[in-house]
Amino acid sequence: MMSQKVRVRFAPSPTGALHIGGVRTALYNYLFAKKHGGDFILRIEDTDSQRFVPGAEEYIIEALTWLGLKFDEGTHIGGGYAPYRQSDRKEIYKKYVDSLLEKGAAYIAFDTPEELDAKRAAIANFQYDASTRGEMRNSLTLSKDEVQGLIDRGNQYVVRFKIEPNEDVLVNDIIRGEVKINSSVLDDKVLYKSADNLPTYHLANIVDDHLMEITHVIRGEEWLPSAPLHVLLYRAFGWEETMPQFAHLPLLLKPEGNGKLSKRDGDRLGFPVFPLEWKDPKTGEISSGYRESGYLPEAVVNFLALLGWNPGNDLEIMSLDELIELFSLERCSKSGAKFDYEKGKWFNHQYIQKKSDAEIAKLYLPYLREKEVDFPLDYIETVVGLVKERVNFVKELWDQSFFFFEAPTSYDEKVVKKRWKEDSAAQLNELIVVLNNISDFSAHNQEIIVKDWIELKEYHLGNIMNAFRLAIVGESKGPHMFDITAVIGKEETIKRLEKAVHDIK
Ligand code: GLU
């Protein structure tokens, strides 16, 4: 076979917010395409108008853009195979449905929902297939004239795929190997509905994959049961030669216990299952998103990449470019991946450390503005450098650094009780004099001079430093003491010491 340009598609149905599992599917498609110099395509599968949710398509695009997964073609950017939204491709599908009818690979069925319900009630485990289609109202049981008559009189119908029973259908899956399914378990799937003049998911999906020259179908495990049907459809159309290769990704599992990760797990354990915040347009219900929760897109990408794939060694921190370099479908696991939310936080922590202080400072700015503090950017950068190792999220920076921006207005009572000794006030008064005499107020120099003084006076180092910290921070936290005082400066340090000596009783 001719070596072909890799083309993959992410083909979501716009039925709501994109679940984090869907984001992983998009990511793996992207990594695979870029690894092979191929195209990554966004196709919107919106043939089920009943389930269409306004805003969902825009949400999907915004989420993947935020994560840095750039499409080569799609509804929002066009491309050589446009249109990319199935509802804009309506006219295309009819002739493919007709071709299956002509070949006898599909048939027209008039059974009403009531008639189908009656059958289901009468026959246990009723399935519309080779064993039952002979008793139903369809073009196989009715004469040509009867069929035409019903259509002419405006009766609604569906087109069903005629699946031959008792045949082993093979699906070659890159991740799962050869999957064999007997065609008898499949039902005669509806491919087209006259009522809305639209194909169903299965038909539109296959026709579009063919027309868009898709080479690999990489999607969630929940679509594996549809794969045999898809193989049979390719065959019915005579497109076996160009059938894409399948790769069905493992499920994302609950963090604890068994089963598929759900939105309820997120609500229960307090983590988002959506990339961006989502407001349900019907109920108004708001679901949290990774972006709004303070995750860096790089961290989310890295975290998701390892949920179902690994590079074959214990490498964990990988940029998008490194992931592209290392990714392979062969290294995807068959078994489900437990959604380890704590690990997600760990990744965010790692990426905060990896980013420059300047970058983090910029992300910190909005939070500082909210607190109405206004400091020069290089000051903020220095502060960030001193405290970022203590946080998992940018929003946690304030709690670790507020004392760089404002003097304590009160002192933690518990700390006062424990750390403020009888002679603390007198000692800090002496410390004020010592500090006042220091001209080079660098952390290093302060430390040498203050420690010399403590040694000379035979004071208790711990007691002095604890009282000192209480005066400067207001509680017993923060980075190295002299790093703090070097940053806030001599004047501010002495001011805070004087206030503490005066205020703490
Ligand atoms: N529209 C399907 C979905 O919502 C696409 C499945 C596939 O990739 O074939 O996931």
Please spell the DSSP secondary structure of 233-265, one letter per residue: HHHHHT-GGGPPEEEEEPPEEPSSSSSB--HHH
Question: Span 347-357, mean pLDDT?
Answer: 98
Annotated catalytic residue within 119, 193, 260, 263 = 263
Give the Å distance between the CA of 100 and the centre of ligand 1.
22
Q: Return the pLDDT at 504.
A: 95
> Residue 34 in contact with residue 324, Cβ under 8 Å?
yes
Question: In the CATH scheme, what architecture does the domain 413-503 have?
Answer: Orthogonal Bundle (1.10)
Of 361, 341, 336, nearest to 252 by C-alpha is 336
Query: What is the residue whose two structure tokens read 């093979």?
Result: 170
Question: Span 479-487, mean pLDDT?
Answer: 98
Give 116-168 pLDDT, tens digit per residue. 999 999 999 999 999 999 999 999 999 999 999 999 999 999 999 999 999 99
Q: Return the pLDDT at 206.
A: 98
DSSP symbol at 309: B
Q: What CATH code is assigned to 355-404?
A: 1.10.8.70
Whole-angstrom distance, CA of residue 247 vs CA of residue 249: 6
Is 264 exposed, middle or buried, given 0-12, 13-18 or 19+ CB atoms closer than 10 A? exposed
Q: Is the pLDDT of residue 1 over 70?
A: no
Give 210-238 pLDDT, tens digit per residue. 999 999 999 999 999 999 999 999 999 99
Pick from 201, 206, 224, 234 the residue to mutate for probing ligand 1's pocket: most ligand atoms within 8 Å of its CB: 201
The stretches of 153-259 forming alpha helices (DSSP H) are: 201-211, 227-237
Give 297-333 pLDDT, tens digit per residue. 999 999 999 999 999 999 999 999 999 999 999 999 9
Domain 7-74+204-248 and domain 355-404, same fold? Reply is no
Q: Return the pLDDT at 257.
A: 78
Neighbours of 81 (CB within 10 A): 17
The stretches of 36-171 forming alpha helices (DSSP H) are: 56-66, 90-103, 113-122, 144-152
Cα within 13 Å of Cα(286), Cβ side: 4
Q: Return the pLDDT at 25.
A: 98
Residues with CB under 6 A from ligand 1: 11-13, 45, 201, 205, 217, 219, 223
Give the Å distance between the CA of 138 and the centre of ligand 1.
29
Give the Å distance between the CA of 22 and the centre of ligand 1.
9
CATH of 263-350, one of 1.10.357.10, 1.10.10.10, 3.10.20.600, 1.10.1160.10: 1.10.1160.10
Give 44-89 pLDDT, tens digit per residue. 999 998 899 999 999 999 999 999 999 999 999 999 999 999 999 9
Give 3-12 pLDDT, tens digit per residue. 699 999 999 9
Question: Span 96-101, mean pLDDT?
Answer: 98
The protein residue with its alpha carbon nearest to ligand 1, atom 2, reads 12
Q: Where are the domains of the chain?
A: 7-74+204-248, 91-193, 263-350, 355-404, 413-503
Residue 263 catalytic? Answer: yes
Q: Return the pLDDT at 179.
A: 95
Question: In the CATH scheme, what architecture does the domain 7-74+204-248 have?
Answer: 3-Layer(aba) Sandwich (3.40)
Q: Return the pLDDT at 139.
A: 98
Q: What CATH code is assigned to 91-193?
A: 3.90.800.10
Q: Return the pLDDT at 505.
A: 84
Q: Which two tokens stand for residue 225?
A: 């049961």
The protein residue with its alpha carbon nearest to ligand 1, atom 10, reads 12
Q: Which atom of ligand 1 is nearest to the CA of 218?
A: 8
Q: Return the pLDDT at 2.
A: 46
List C-alpha distances in Å: 407 to 107, 129, 169, 361, 484.
Answer: 80, 77, 73, 20, 12
